Amino acid sequence: MDHYLEQLKDEWLIEVTIEEIQEQLESNKITSRQLVLMYLSRIAKVDQGGPKINSIIEVNPEALHIADSLDYERKTKGSRGPLHGIPVVIKDNIDTADKMHTSAGSLVLAESYAKEDATLVKQLREAGAIILGKTNLTEWANFIAEDMPTGYSSRGGQVLNPYGTDFIVGGSSAGSGAAIAANLAVVAVGTETSGSILSPASQNSLVGIKPTVGLISRKGIIPISHTQDTAGPMARSVKDAAILLNVLTGKDSQDPITLTNDLADLDFTNHLIKEGLKGKKIGIARETYFDELNESHLTVMNNAINKLKELGAEVVDPITIPSTNEEWDINVLLYEFKTDLNAYLKTIDSSIGVRTLADVIKANEQIGEKALKFGQKLFLDANATSGNLIEPEYLESLEKDDTLSKTKGIDHVMQEQGLDAIVFPNNFGAMIPAKAGYPSITVPAGYTNEGEPVGITFTAKAYMEPTLLEIAYSYEQATKHRVAPFQAK
């Protein structure tokens, strides 16, 4: 057994899928305890040593004990399902009522313990997942300073891209992206307000699903904006992402938008169709977004578009999203952040000493340079708002965002052209579906000449995740671009 496990660690753990792990668990060739130990070993060697990716901000002290209990349950009662005994990492802005902190990467919340599991954490535990640890992130989900580097937090330091330290790691779910790319866990949960799942998925050659706002409960996630926030899966394959999405989705009376979710009981793996691109009509959003690409990135994207045609898709190239070049603002985020964060802070232990955004700002000032290496301008701007969501400035921006992203944006062009999906390069263009609350999925599209990962992102209207999965799976299976990063091998 020892020799077999050593072989697994060296040859099998890299790029292993949920299905492959379950086959080993069911045949008693490994246990979940042994699996956890393997991943902890990789975290020590790759994340904290060697290339020092720095993607894990904290490991779960109870992970081995949880694994033991799930091994016993498998032996005595059988498996709960595909995630039974599977190590998962989650972003450090998601509440866990255990021995791990929930800090958003902030020194102010470095000793904060959540009183209750986030709804999605409860669902993971019920499915038998092992929460292996929390991942580092761009501090406060990149809503503290204007010039914050992606993947940096004052508590966790800088996350590095395992494909090369010269490449940006993507934010704000940087740790979730780098950890899964470097094979430090099986799958991860990230969060997104605007590009924060899609960006690290693109940069780390992963599949990232930014769901419709309403598909997954946000209860127990440190907020930015109730209009735009969502959690979502990050994985090395579309199938693993779909399996995780099955567990994360659901209705929650404490997050009313989820009551609009008609996909709560859907098995997303039923939409993993190899011929899923045949007959799909896909528009290419070239204007502005492709202009941001250098020649190497553009070559990868053009090759990907040609592949869509080869796989039977009808490609409309280019399309024009009417609102692309409108002047957008972040007023909705500024107003909602103050209101939503103040509400969240009332749920944490009073001994932390912060109950409002103003308290956090003051606490950062007291800590000094270590907490404010890049300042806190967005905090100050948000705190300068009244915190009252009846202000004309807020309401006008809310209506403007909704109109420009939907009726004069994605809805308009999809209806006009009869599209099933829109293509964006990497995470460029993430803002418009983010403001609409619409879903996107990023899939590896290849690598530049320098070895930097490039992702192709497919976007559609609300609750069109099944269509997006069909497209993404078909593209992935035909191309299989993803390879493990050199530094993580």
Q: Which residues are catalytic?
A: 91, 172, 196
Cα 434 → chain centroid: 13
CA distance linking residue 216 with residue 264, whole number of Å: 9
Give CA–CA dist 218/258, Å, rounded. Answer: 9
Q: In what order do the strands lie in the sheet with 130-135?
A: 56-59, 130-135, 87-91, 187-192, 230-235, 207-210, 440-447, 453-459, 421-425, 281-284, 314-316
The span from the CA of 415 to the CA of 428, in Å, is 22
Q: Can you name the residues that pair with 453 across neighbouring β-strands? A: 447
Q: Which of 468, 454, 457 is nearest to 203 (CA)?
A: 454
Q: In degrees rounded to 5, what are phi and psi of residue 25?
A: -65, -45
- 3-class secondary structure, 442: strand
Vertex 455 angle, CA 329 and 45, to 5°: 105
Residue 158, classified by CB atoms within 10 Å of its CB into exposed (0-12), middle (13-18) or buried (19+), is: middle
Q: How many CB atoms lie within 10 A of CB 60?
A: 22
Burial, 402: exposed, middle or buried (Cβ in 10 Å; 0-12, 13-18, 19+)? middle
Q: How far is CA 388 from CA 87, 158, 334, in A?
A: 41, 35, 11
Give the residue from 171, 163, 93, 83 showing the smallest Cα distance to 126.
83
In 290-418, which ranges are continuous DSSP H helix? 295-310, 331-345, 357-367, 377-383, 392-402, 411-417
Chain center to CA of 217? 14
Contact 485, 182 (CB under 8 A): yes
Q: Please give the Cα distance from 376 to 225 (Å, whole number).
A: 17
Q: Give the residue from 127, 67, 58, 70 showing the smallest Cα distance to 96.
A: 58
Strand, helix or coil for residue 134: strand
